Amino acid sequence: MAEQVCISCKRNVSNKSVARFPCPSCGKTEIVRCGDCRANAIAYECKDCKFRGPN
């Protein structure tokens, strides 16, 4: 299994509970976010279309 990295904090989250979803704007990039960043509403940016969330 490939290493997964949180898009917000850049930590390895391979062995943790994460949220994975396609970019809400372009659908091309898989967004991977750790529980800490989700709980604290830390921003992320899609590398393909530059969409910024959470809104």
pLDDT (tens digit per residue) in 10-48: 999 987 789 999 999 999 999 999 999 999 999 999 999
pLDDT at 26: 97
Residue 51 near residue 26 (C-beta atoms within 8 A): yes
Q: Is the pLDDT assigned to residue 54 strictly greater than 90? A: no
pLDDT at 17: 83
pTM metric for this prediction: 0.82
Cis, peptide link before residue 24, omega less than 30° from 0: no
Decide the pairing of beta strands 18-22 and 30-34: antiparallel
Residue 33 near residue 24 (C-beta atoms within 8 A): no
Residue 46 near residue 12 (C-beta atoms within 8 A): no
Bridge partners of 20, per DSSP, are 32
